[in-house]
Chain A
Amino acid sequence: MKRFVLGLLAATALSGAAVAQEDFSPALLFDLGGKFDKSFNEMAYTGAERFKEETGIEYVEFEISNDAQREQALRRFAERGHNPIVMAGFTWVEYLNKVAPEYPDVDFTIIDDKVEQPNVRSVTFKEQEGSYLVGILAAMASETGTVGFVGGMEVPLIGKFECGYVGGVKAADPDATVIRNYTGDTPSAWNDPTKGGEITRTQIDQGADVIYHAAGGTGVGVLQAAADAGKLGIGVDSNQNGMHPGSVLTSMVKKVDVAVYESFMDAKNGEFTYGVQNVGLAEDAVGYALDEHNESLITDEMKAAVEEAKAKIIAGEIEVHNYLDDNSCPYW
């Protein structure tokens, strides 16, 4: 059967480029939290949409609703000849490790973690660098000297955000206090805005006036509660400044869309590469968002400080600690 399919593929490849283009069918798999989480998954979606717009090639996608669907979805897409298959989220690791060797002809991309298989491209982001920058902004915008952090599910990946953020805050204001909370330890922690809002209110009660979230859908509640209380929130992954103009200080942007877009594009052009891509400020893959919604909140002084730190990180003068290296953080 496989040989038959390969034969068919070869035949279509011979019959002209236009047909080959139609057969090219990339696939995108989202993580729990869903396509429109206004955050991580939505960025992946944006990247795929951009590819579709530019090339006119349709892609297939799947939003899982529980972990049991992961392996099944991967196999199904590989079975049906979708190539490349891009998946967003670190939870895919163990499933991809299992499935990738069975389909050596299919190219996979995993975003947010590493899978060491010959046919896999792993894209990881230096979230700590972007978080460091928004940490500097948070500390400078804070009037109370206390800022907050709300994480989603308690996993090491979010530790990267947390650690970089604390590092940035302490760099700008060594005496600042950072109140850190996680929403929970089950995947529902990515989708519980009520709890996120309550955590934010608690942090505000404790004196925090700038709160950074790395909590997916839960963050909707964090930004809402901060805006309701007249405090500042900081968005994550996507540019969330526009959700509450004037009440979102900035967003730690993580260009998941570029990772998805490039995977699709490279595969289309036959330039797909494998191995680990660890991208950060230098590659412009993470950063802080500045637009019409928050320009009045960021003073020239803040902008100068954050640009200076950015230059230093890119030059290697400042090295922001990566939480995943040793599962600990020197800043707290």
Chain B
Amino acid sequence: MEAFDTLIAVLDSTVRLSVPLLFAALAGLYSERSGVFDIGLEGKMLAGAFAAGAAAAVTGSAWAGLAAAVVVSVFFALAHGFASITHRGNQIVSGVAINFIAAGSTIILGQAWFSQGGRTPLLSAEGRFNALHLPFADAMRDIPIVGPIYSELLSGHSLLVYLAFLLVPFTWWALFRTRFGLRLRAVGENPAAVDTAGISVAWLRYRAVICTGVLTGLAGTYLALAQNAGFVKDMTAGRGFIALAALIFAKWKPVPVMFACLLFGFLDAFAIRIQGTPLPVIGRVPVQLMQALPYILTVVLLAGFIGRAIPPRAGGVPYVKER
């Protein structure tokens, strides 16, 4: 029974840790499926987190924070789009630039506005997305097996957690069951064909990067307003890149993306849990190994050991109408 409780606690932690990855990876999915590679997820998330922290600190409202985060992230996404779609610049260079600009500007603005070294003031409960308690969570706690699963694992997360998981089926539906989704995927595979059909390649890709901006804004909001109580410099700590790894690992498909993020989140949660305690059979596992595992798994995948990860064919290539 104790092992079961531990498992529930680790899974609960997994959910919390995988949510920012999930938002960011889904964000990358829209952009990359449309043929715009985006390694600026990290930067957009960071900018979003800062905007959320700053706006929530000033207005005292979590929703205002969310709105600001989405606006700022979309702005950064459009900047990436402007460079790589309209001006056909190198998408990797543009993405790296976004990361640098976000890392620097958040600290400078934060320092100028709040004088706390790039930090935003600590938020009170009204300024955050607090844990929601599902109905009957307390009443069901004592029922064996089902009780803990419901009241610990499913209940007690912030609104954004539920939103993240709802976005998975939504993304699947949007990409594979709507006209917009079909065109989006087509423009990532063969933009010339889409263009021939009389649909604007640039406009489609712009819409895709706007989706990316909205989702990275949500990721940043989750970090700043749900998991923490304010923005701290560089608080994304590489999650944008892990999300990118998850996206590649999941071969650019929404449902596998969710499982990849959960897997990476689980590795993190598990690493925290087992730190310092020897495991049966294996003995003490170095924490460093657990932390490197997401990257190792992705490299193994890319090397072709677990199937093949084939990116969208037109990914990274700016569309030129006529040569």
Chain A residues, Cβ within 8 Å of B16: 198, 201
**Contact indicator A221/B228 (Cβ below 8 Å):** yes
Q: Per-residue 0/1 for B235-268: is the Cβ within 8 Å of any A Cβ (1 yes, 0 no)?
A: 1011000000000000000000000000000001
**Contact indicator A188/B237 (Cβ below 8 Å):** yes
Chain A residues, Cβ within 8 Å of B215: none
**Contact indicator B232/A220 (Cβ below 8 Å):** yes
Q: How far is the CA of A148 from the CA of B12 in the complex (A)?
A: 19
Known: A36-B119, A188-B237, A188-B238. A182 touches B228 (CB 8 A): no
Q: How far is the CA of A197 from the CA of B275 in the complex (A)?
A: 16
**Contact indicator A37/B117 (Cβ below 8 Å):** yes
- Whether A180 sits at the interface, judged by CB under 8 Å, is yes
**Contact indicator A182/B275 (Cβ below 8 Å):** yes
Which of A38, A199, A205 has the most CB atoms of chain B within a 10 A radius of its CB? Answer: A205
**Contact indicator A194/B223 (Cβ below 8 Å):** yes
Q: How far is the CA of A224 from the CA of B230 in the complex (A)?
A: 10
Known: A34-B118, A36-B116. A194 touches B227 (CB 8 A): yes
The number of chain B residues with a CB under 8 A from chain A is 33
- Whether B233 sits at the interface, judged by CB under 8 Å, is yes
Known: A35-B117, A36-B116, A243-B122. A194 touches B272 (CB 8 A): no
**Contact indicator A194/B233 (Cβ below 8 Å):** no
Chain B residues, Cβ within 8 Å of A184: 287, 291
- Whether A181 sits at the interface, judged by CB under 8 Å, is yes
- Min CB distance A256 to B, Å, is 16
**Contact indicator A202/B272 (Cβ below 8 Å):** yes
Please tell me which one of the listed residues A35, A191, A198 contacts residue B234 in the complex, with CB atoms under 8 A apart.
A191
- Whether B288 sits at the interface, judged by CB under 8 Å, is yes
Please tell me which one of the listed residues B12, B17, B118, B227 contacts residue A36 in the complex, with CB atoms under 8 A apart.
B118
**Contact indicator B228/A194 (Cβ below 8 Å):** yes
Q: How far is the CA of A198 from the CA of B15 in the complex (A)?
A: 11
Please tell me which one of the listed residues A197, A202, A205 contacts residue B227 in the complex, with CB atoms under 8 A apart.
A197
Known: A180-B276, A181-B276, A224-B122. A194 touches B235 (CB 8 A): yes
The number of chain A residues with a CB under 8 A from chain B is 30
- Whether A246 sits at the interface, judged by CB under 8 Å, is no
Q: How far is the CA of A136 from the CA of B227 in the complex (A)?
A: 30
Chain B residues, Cβ within 8 Å of A217: 232-233
CB under 8 Å from chain B, chain A span 152-205: 154, 180-182, 184-185, 188, 191-195, 197-199, 201-202, 205
Report the nearest A residue to B122, measured CB to CB: A243
Report the nearest A residue to B288, measured CB to CB: A185
- Min CB distance B102 to A, Å, is 14
**Contact indicator B122/A182 (Cβ below 8 Å):** no
CB under 8 Å from chain B, chain A span 39-54: 42
Q: How far is the CA of A224 from the CA of B127 in the complex (A)?
A: 14
Which of B122, B230, B272 has the most CB atoms of chain A within a 10 A radius of its CB? Answer: B272
Q: How far is the CA of A201 from the CA of B17 in the complex (A)?
A: 12
**Contact indicator A36/B117 (Cβ below 8 Å):** yes
Q: How far is the CA of A221 from the CA of B232 in the complex (A)?
A: 10
- Min CB distance B268 to A, Å, is 8
**Contact indicator A191/B232 (Cβ below 8 Å):** yes
- Whether B177 sits at the interface, judged by CB under 8 Å, is no
Q: How far is the CA of A291 from the CA of B127 in the complex (A)?
A: 27
**Contact indicator A202/B116 (Cβ below 8 Å):** no
- Min CB distance B261 to A, Å, is 15
- Min CB distance B237 to A, Å, is 4
- Whether B269 sits at the interface, judged by CB under 8 Å, is yes
Q: Interface of A with B (CB < 8 Å)?
A: 34-38, 42, 154, 180-182, 184-185, 188, 191-195, 197-199, 201-202, 205-206, 217, 220-221, 224, 243
- Of the A-B pairs whose beta carbons lie under 8 Å apart in the complex, a sample of 22, sorted by A's number, is A36-B118, A42-B117, A154-B287, A180-B276, A181-B276, A184-B287, A185-B287, A191-B234, A194-B237, A195-B237, A195-B272, A197-B227, A198-B17, A198-B227, A198-B268, A202-B9, A202-B272, A205-B9, A206-B9, A217-B233, A220-B119, A220-B228
8 closest residue pairs by CB, A with B? A36-B117, A205-B9, A192-B237, A194-B227, A188-B237, A202-B272, A193-B228, A193-B232
